[in-house]
Structure 1
Amino acid sequence: MTTTGRVSFVGAGPGAADLITLRGARRIAEADVVVWAPSAVEAECVREHAREGADLVDFSRVTAEEITDLYRRAAAARLKVVRLHAGDAATGGGVQEQHDLCQRLGLEVEVVPGVSVVAAAAARIGREITLTEASSAVFLAPEGSEGVREFAALQTTMAATVSGARTGQFVEQLLEGGYTAETPVVVAYKVSQADELVVHTTVGELEAVVKQHKLYRPTLFLVGAAVKAAPARRQSATAAAADEPARTARPTRWSRRVASRIATRADEPVPAPAVPVAPATSAEPNPAWNAVEELQQSVRKQAEESTQKPKPKLTVVAAATPKPPTVQASTSNPPKRRSTARKPKRAN
């Protein structure tokens, strides 16, 4: 049993509830408190994994002092706290400052990586963002946008998260750095979520596309030749296969030997399985997601068995002023005191 609390900084992935690691889902299921920002992490991700009775703290509605007070309470009461971050918690989101603060408070701290928004966007368009002559990719945080011009001069694949209101300035820096107006750009907004938007455009048309779709919040832009849209397929794979002449492979000595062994084994009776296996159906859920659900149920069961008394609801408030100790009167019979009055003398 730990002598202190634990704070886990968990990367929640790009947004979809099933794009979180098994370790991240386990940490949320174990947590007494989950700190998250609804504007950055979908509520479905929290509802899917958090246990019943866990305290949910909206990060956007508390101050830095209240978060620090929450960490202190976690250390004193040995609570398990999860701080959810969009994308990958190991590559941004102000984790380092919070990590060092928790260590100074004596808490057990860990960082659980997640699927980054850049990786999700590259997977969405089916492109390898490093598959170019210059095989390095540059990732820019919003606060590092002043270096766009310098990074553009490298002519590599650039991934930058920029506010929609600053798209014009971003385009100017790209052109001044060396990108041409025809350089491919991918606009990726809320990738993997229900209302995601992924658009292929160019540097010259980027500002107009952002205004057309009314993207005012921070949006991911992938810039470079590696993100050029794949050529459209002219015909289906079935039609292409029908046009090709049928070809048969020439059997080798090894293949003939294997074929004879397979034919020999096919004549042997097959023993019945010890445990009947139910046939798979198309309606069966995803096996990986079943593993996550089983993991959550086991963690919740362990938490219920180990907890004898329900934990009180935690509210993030300012530290209360300590009350002076009170003295409780004793309920036992007080000892009899000897009277100091002198008895009168008896007359003779």
Structure 2
Amino acid sequence: MVTGRISFIGAGPGAADLITVRGARRIAEADVVVWSASAVAPECIQEHARSDAELIDSSRLTREEALEIYRRAERDKLKVVRVHSGDPSMWSAVQDQHDVCSRMNVDVEIVPGVAAFSAAAAAVGRELTAPDVAQSLVVTRLEGGRTPTPAGEEVREFAKHGTTMALHLSASRTAQLVEELRAGGYPDDTPVLVAYKVSWPDELLVRTTIGELEKTVKQRKLWRNALFVVGKSLGGSRANSYHFRRAEPVARRPLRPSAPRRRSAEPGAAKPRGTNGVKDSDVAWWAVRDWQESARGAARVAATRSVPRVDAAQSQLFAEEAEPAEAAEPAVSEQPVAVEAAPKSRRTSAASTTTTRATAKATPAKRTATKTAKTTAAKRTKTATAAKAKPAAKRKPAAEPDEQGE
């Protein structure tokens, strides 16, 4: 039985390419995309959503209006995506939505995303855990905001552990944060990383200490929500932070038969990367692009809407989206036909097809010229054949009496 589908997706900290492959695929298949431009980079939606998908600004929705969109998914068998920033398992209000949708006749799923503290640590090249320094990570918020904090979960209580902490709060409350950290026992020289809009084009990463934190934030004129990572693990380089030991040999069954290795023709020859001269990274990327285009194409055939429906407040974000996407599609869709038509290739592997598409993407000009030449040659051949066929058709009736007479 065909039903609708509701997907709650973690888009990651902001960058369009930090979303998971599964999350990007769900957006590409969606009939309706609910998202907030203030929390998710527009490129994340612009890159993956179909041109005819309905885009709705979640910051303008009430709870009842959001539920009505989910009811539409049940009634009209639509694929609806609700995009959250970061990972939906923390501070995304996804639980209430998920519980309501679970009682509907639709498929419901949650797709995890990259957390902001992971992106911040990666951006500065630091590990948040270290032997003899910190083996735990506390992810919390500063109490006193709109969301009530249970007893015992105050920042000063967590600070008593002395481990690494990642705190999400408004930068305008930095003075209160410093007071809580000091009350919990952190010394003033404890390193602090301030991450504002991490992975966005205008991200800001500032290293400081607890003693200088308030002054640093004021100098940068930060007041919106930011991430504060606190702990000695952010300090200087550490030698031999973890000891690696060789694992004991274990008999395992191979996952797949291993192909024999081919030796190079010359001893010093370099091994070719990828297939047919295409880099492995390009093959992998275009494999992702293939299913994106397939998902979009299948949805276009099934969709009844031909005009994109975009919220008025978001129209300027997608002004230049349609033409480049449409221009690239025909070239991709025609490649499998060319592979199947080649002699002695009844079956084509996914890797070779993907490689062919990657090669075609890398040389669009040559492909277009070849296609034009083939089309012109076909027209000339068709014209010449038709010209030769007409005299033969006229001579055939005159020959028939001779053949009957014999």
TM range (shorter): 0.7 to 0.9
Q: Is the 8 A contact 1:117 1:191 kept in 2?
A: yes
Which structure has the larger Rg over C-alpha atoms? 1
Q: Is the 8 A contact 2:13 2:85 kept in 1?
A: yes
Which residue is 2:105 aligned to? 106
Structure in which a larger fraction of residues adopt helix: 2
Matches within 5 A, 1:1-348: 1-3=1-3, 5-133=4-132, 134-141=134-141, 143=147, 144=149, 147-230=154-237, 277-280=275-278, 286-305=282-301, 307=302, 309-310=304-305
C-alpha distance in 2 between matches for 1:53 and 1:315: 9
Q: Tell me, what secondary structure is at the counterpart of 1:221? A: strand
Contact 1:129 1:137 in 2 (8 A): yes
- For 2:233, the aligned partner's letter is A
Between the two proteins, the alignment pairs up a number of residues equal to 276
Measured at CA, do residues 287 and 131 of structure 1 come closer, stay the same or move farther in structure 2, by a change above 3 Å? farther
Aligned 8 A contact 2:8 2:82 in 1: yes
Letter in 2 for 1:164: A
Instruction: Write the distance in 1 (CA, Å) between the matches of 2:264 and 2:56.
Output: 62
The answer to whether the Cα contact below 8 Å between 2:74 and 2:105 also exists between their aligned partners in 1 is: yes
Q: Is the 8 A contact 1:185 1:228 kept in 2?
A: no
Once the two structures are TM-superposed, the CA of residue 314 in structure 1 deviates from its matched residue by 7.4
What do residues 160-180 of structure 1 show as CA deviations (whole Å, max 9, x unaligned)?
011011110011000000101
Seen in structure 2, the aligned counterparts of structure 1 residues 187 and 288 have a Cα distance that, compared at 3 Å, is farther
Please give the secondary structure, in 2, of the residue aligned with 1:114: coil
Conserved? CA contact 1:200–1:229, under 8 Å:
no
Task: Name the CA distance, whole Å, in 1 between partners of 2:31 and 2:206.
Answer: 40
Paired amino acid for 2:298: Q
Per-residue deviation, residues 47-106 of structure 1 (Å, max 9, x unmatched): 000001101100111211111111111111111111111111233311111111111233
Q: Is the CA contact 1:25–1:292 (under 8 Å) kept in the aligned structure 2?
A: no
Q: In 1, distance between residues paired with 2:266 and 2:59? A: 69
Residue 278 of structure 1: how far off its partner (Å): 3.7
Structure 1 residue 290: Cα displacement:
2.4
Q: Secondary structure at the match of 2:34?
A: strand
| Identical aligned residues as a percent | 52
Normalised to the residue count of structure 1, the TM-score between the two structures is 0.72
Compared CA separation, residues 176 and 72, structure 1 to 2 (3 A) = same
Q: Is the 8 A contact 2:34 2:82 kept in 1?
A: yes
Distance 1:229 1:14, change over 3 A: farther
C-alpha distance 79-229 of structure 1, shift in aligned 2 (>3 A): farther
Give how far 1:209 is off: 1.1
The corresponding residue for 2:380 is: none
Per the TM alignment, residue 304 of structure 1 is displaced from its structure 2 partner at its CA by: 2.9
Seen in structure 2, the aligned counterparts of structure 1 residues 75 and 224 have a Cα distance that, compared at 3 Å, is same
Q: Write out per-residue CA displacement over residues 254-294 of structure 1, whole angstroms, 9 at most, x where no aligned residue.
A: xxxxxxxx9x99689x9xx9xx954347xx97544323321
Tell me the amino acid that sits aligned with residue 192 of structure 1: S
Distance 1:106 1:278 in 2: 48
Match of 2:348 in 1: none
2:17 counterpart SS class: coil
CA–CA separation in structure 1 for the residues paired with 2:33 and 2:116: 21
TM-score, with length taken from structure 2: 0.62
Instruction: Provide structure 2 residue ranges, at least 5 long, that are not aligned to the other structure.
Output: 239-260, 312-406
Q: Indicate conservation of the 8 Å contact 1:160/1:221, yes or no.
A: yes
Q: Which amino acid aligns with 2:277?
A: P
CA distance in 2, matches of 1:312, 1:76: 21
CA displacement at 1:302 relative to structure 2: 2.0
Amino acid of the structure 1 residue aligned with 2:299: A
